[in-house]
Amino acid sequence: ENEPTVSITVVGASGDLAKKKIFPALFALYYEDCLPQQFTIYGYARSKMSDADLRHMVSKTLTCRIDKRENCTEKMEQFLKRCFYHSGQYDSPENFAELDKKLKEHEGGRVSNRLFYLSIPPNIFIDSVRCASLSASSGNGWTRVIVEKPFGRDSESSAALTKALKQYLEEDQIFRIDHYLGKELVENLSVLRFSNLIFEPLWSRQYIRNVQLIFSEDFGTEGRGGYFDNYGIIRDIMQNHLLQILALFAMETPVSLDAEDIRNEKVKVLRSMRPLQLENMVVGQYKSHTKGGVTYPAYTDDKTVPDDSLTPTFAAAALFIDNARWDGVPFLMKAGKALHNKRAEIRVQFRHVPGNLYNRNFGTDLDCATNELVIRVQPDEAIYLKINNKVPGLGMRLDRSNLNLHYAARYSKEIPCAYERLLLDAVEGERRLFIRSDELDAAWALFTPLLKELEEKKIIPEYYPYGSRGPVGAHYLAAKYNVRWGDGV
Ligand code: BG6
């Protein structure tokens, strides 16, 4: 009974992210017995709703994804009983004070810890942080605030946001979320590198020809055009999700697994990178396409997007890390919406085997003879290594085979959603997977000059049909560095 209480307030509770990700993740944590005994969840939003309305709304997206144990319905009911709703404006100190009162009632004078998850549009962000900080825990407990991107649009606006946040919160209270860091295979990157003898010694310019970070979605900005048009794919995916993966991939060995040690290494590698340049960049935008009698819309068909928008929905870039380990190795990134498939993966292409005795077995296509390590972050999580192998038989013919770690075959349990890992870490105060402000600065420093140039010069994107493999320019960009995209595009 005297255990500390934890209240989790989801600000923006009726939004899509809250409904689809945050509440289901909280339920999964509850189901797995990962939440503290004394926890309460508050939904906070503008619409007038009762506790029962919130519970009804939340119940629709809860799933027992972990397994189909019989007590699932019971667990859901218990979970929903811990969920409450408070209606208020995002910038109203009075409304937050009312919330504070309700929280205090639940806390009943015990040590109280408070976590606020701000799942709200950027324009009301600061006001909301100010208000939330007014309802900070007043006892011995902690107060933490999870913030979602966009963290600004460029270096300046991001720095202004950081400054404003720090008026109300200490850095160690701010949990900047990048949900890609919570994905199972991204977390596994360090395990793969640092706990297997065979990878880390090869992890450098000496053995790696290029690294590819690929993100694709097979749907457009449907319904999100209003947000997206102000940001574009470079800010939406590259500057955060892909760059974070790159930093983890390329960083030096941290002193320990401690959050500060890991983030120190990530910052270092980001600072060793060259800011992006227009000549190493391709931007695209999807146009309408009719296939099988169905017409898929162009990006600009979205009512919330201006007809003359030049916002990229696709981008490919070559990045370079100017340090001893990675000098000269191209890191190619590619991200796009409305493409032919949905996928996120890391591809590591190794160099040719020097003096390879078997070269002639590959004819002129030497590319076929090199090893490639693929880390498929999603869907159908897998890690596989392409190796050369003798085709069984009396002749000497080689082909490529995969040493394959297919998660679905190897592990019977379903993989937790990224938000589960991250929410649990925030409750436990583990900062390893959250972005520190200096990391954010370094990330913006790499992209800001390019983003400005694209906008100032009004660079016309290369148009690609909805559902296609994206602009052909991405192919030429890779070819400039003697690279072929591993995903066959
Ligand atoms: C978000 C982007 O950060 O990530 C979206 O804003 C994108 O545009 C989403 O669709 C992709 O996340 P996931 O986990 O579905 O791959």
Residue 279: what pLDDT?
96
Enumerate residues 6+ apart whose C-beta is below 8 A from 354.
none
Q: How far is the CA of 1 from the centre of ligand 1 (A)?
A: 40
Residue 139: what pLDDT?
72
Query: Is residue 241 annotated as a catalytic residue, yes or no?
Result: yes
Please calculate the CA angle 144-243-177 and round it to the nearest 5 degrees.
15
Give the number of other CB atoms < 10 A from CB of residue 318: 21
Burial 456-465 (b: 16+ CB within 10 A, else e): eeeeebbbbb
- The pLDDT confidence band at residue 120, using thresholds 50, 70 and 90, is very high
Q: Which of 180, 185, 221, 237 to mutate to test the pocket of ligand 1 (most atoms within 8 A of CB)?
A: 237
Q: Which of 16, 217, 343 to mutate to test the pocket of ligand 1 (most atoms within 8 A of CB)?
A: 217
DSSP for 353-408? PTT-TTGGGGTT-GGGGS-EEEEEEESS-EEEEEEEEEPSSSS--EEEEEEEEEHH
What's the predicted TM-score (pTM) here? 0.95
Q: Ligand 1, atom 8: nearest CA belongs to which residue?
A: 236
Q: How far is the CA of 314 from the centre of ligand 1 (A)?
A: 14
Rg of the Cα atoms in the chain? 24
Give the number of other CB atoms < 10 A from CB of residue 26: 28
Query: Which residue is associated with the tokens 């319904």?
Result: 223
Q: How far is the CA of 414 from the centre of ligand 1 (A)?
A: 20
Q: Which of 147, 179, 180, 435 to mutate to test the pocket of ligand 1 (most atoms within 8 A of CB)?
A: 179
Residue 359: what pLDDT?
73
pLDDT tens digits, one per residue of 144-201: 999 999 999 999 999 999 999 999 999 999 999 999 999 999 999 999 999 999 999 9
pLDDT tens digits, one per residue of 20-39: 999 999 999 999 999 999 99
Q: Which atom of ligand 1 is nearest to the CA of 228?
A: 8
Our measurement of the distance from residue 174's CA atom to the centroid of its chain's CA atoms, rounded to an integer in Å, reads: 17
Q: Which atom of ligand 1 is nearest to the CA of 215?
A: 16
Q: Ligand 1, atom 10: nearest CA belongs to which residue?
A: 217
Q: Give the integer Cα–Cα distance in Å for 221 and 338.
A: 8
Among 26-40, 51-65, 67-81, 392-406, where is mean pLDDT lowest? 67-81
159-to-173, 237, 293, 438, 441 alpha-carbon distances in Å: 17, 20, 48, 10, 7
What is this model's ipTM? 0.97
Question: Ligand 1: which residues within 6 Å by Cβ?
Answer: 179, 217, 236, 344
pLDDT at 488 over 80: no
Q: Which atom of ligand 1 is nearest to the CA of 180?
A: 14
pLDDT tens digits, one per residue of 78-103: 999 999 999 999 999 999 999 999 99
Q: How far is the CA of 211 from the centre of ligand 1 (A)?
A: 22
Q: How far is the CA of 334 from the centre of ligand 1 (A)?
A: 14
Q: Which atom of ligand 1 is nearest to the CA of 241?
A: 3
Catalytic: which of 106, 179, 241, 475?
Answer: 241
Q: How does DSSP classify residue 94?
A: H
Q: How far is the CA of 191 from the centre of ligand 1 (A)?
A: 24
Torsion of CA 187, 189, 190, 193, to 10 degrees: 160
Nearest Cα neighbor of 231 from 179, 330, 333, 309 is 309
pLDDT at 42 over 60: yes
Going by their DSSP bridges, the two strands 143-147 and 174-176 should be labelled as parallel
Q: Which atom of ligand 1 is nearest to the CA of 149?
A: 3
pLDDT at 356 over 60: yes
pLDDT at 345 over 60: yes
Q: Give the integer Cα–Cα distance in Å for 317 and 238.
A: 9
Q: How far is the CA of 179 from the centre of ligand 1 (A)?
A: 8
Q: Which atom of ligand 1 is nearest to the CA of 344?
A: 16
Q: Ligand 1, atom 15: nearest CA belongs to which residue?
A: 217
- The pLDDT confidence band at residue 362, using thresholds 50, 70 and 90, is low
pLDDT tens digits, one per residue of 224-255: 888 999 999 999 999 999 999 999 999 999 99
- The pLDDT confidence band at residue 365, using thresholds 50, 70 and 90, is low
